Structures are given as C-alpha cells and as structure tokens.
C-alpha cells in the first residue's frame, strides 16, 4: 500500500493539532510542513466532515481536534481518506479476473490487507505524535 499525498497531509495535520493541544490555523500547518495551504484546507475540510477536527470561523477561530488523540485510530483515518485499501481489484469485486474461480492469491492478499489494517487500527494518534520541542525545531 502506498498512501496518497492527501492522506499524508491528513495525518500530518492531525499530528500537529494533537501536539499543539490548542487551536491552530491552516496556514500554520502548511508553513510548518512546507506544503500548500490550499491542499491543507482540502484536507481540513475532509477531516472536519469525518469528525476528526472542528473548524471554527471568525476572530479567534481556527482548527482543533474534535476527539482526543487516544481515540483516533490510524487505520480508520487512512481508510477514510484513501477509500479502498485493496491491493488488487479482485479482493472486493467479482468477475475481474479469468482465474478468479481457482486463484489462491486473492485469499493471501485479503489476509495481508486484514493484518495490515488490524495493526494500523491498534495504533492511536497519541502514540505517533512528536513532542512540542521537536516541532519547535522545525520553525
């Protein structure tokens, strides 16, 4: 599995907010990581719709975690951002391959996906966040 840039930015945004522990802005996140504020805004929009962050408008507004970092499972975030995590189309779709009726690879890959997702869901955001000191060195 290879994650899209969108998912990468989503994870970085969540990590930043969890480390900061207070409201931040899209521009702060973009500047810290040296990425486009436009892309971060798209990510923030999706994370907000998914219930991971709150977006507050107006003076003193910004973005913040809507859940505790210990409640956010990496696998769930990745799956929500990526959509399908299947290694091949045949894992969840019938009649896409001539050897489907006797293929043993499909089962192996399905199990690999299950193990990977189980592991990612065993890790929570609070387990992967940097310290505030580590983030300050990036400024």
Enumerate the β-bridge partners of residue 62.
Answer: 56
At residue 137, the pLDDT reads 73
**Does residue 41 fall inside a structural domain?**
yes
Please, what is the Cα angle at 80 between 6 and 18, to 5 degrees? Answer: 70
Round to whole Å and give the CA distance between 139 and 134. 10
The predicted pLDDT at position 139 comes to: 64
Determine, yes or no, domain membership for 119.
no
Task: Show the domain range for 42.
Answer: 5-83+125-136
Inside any domain, residue 50: yes
65's tokens: 């975690």
Classify residue 11: in a domain, yes or no.
yes
pLDDT in tens, 55-111: 998 888 899 999 999 999 999 999 999 988 887 778 877 888 888 888 888 889 889
Which CATH number characterizes residue 46's domain? 1.10.10.10
- Structural domains in the chain (count): 1
Q: For residue 25, is it within any domain?
A: yes
pTM here is 0.88
């Amino acid at each position: 599995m290879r994650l899209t840039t969108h998912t990468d930015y989503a994870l970085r945004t969540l990590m930043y907010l969890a480390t900061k522990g207070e409201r931040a802005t899209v521009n702060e996140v973009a500047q810290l990581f040296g990425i486009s504020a436009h892309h971060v805004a798209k990510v923030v929009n999706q994370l907000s719709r998914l219930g991971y962050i709150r977006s507050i408008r107006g003076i003193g507004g910004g973005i913040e975690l809507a859940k505790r970092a210990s409640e956010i499972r990496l696998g769930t975030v990745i799956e929500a951002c990526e959509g399908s995590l299947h290694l091949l189309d045949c894992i969840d779709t019938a009649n896409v391959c001539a050897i489907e009726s006797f293929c043993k690879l499909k089962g192996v890959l399905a199990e690999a996906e299950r193990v990977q997702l189980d592991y990612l869901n065993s890790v929570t955001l609070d387990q992967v966040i940097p310290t505030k000191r580590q983030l300050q060195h990036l400024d």
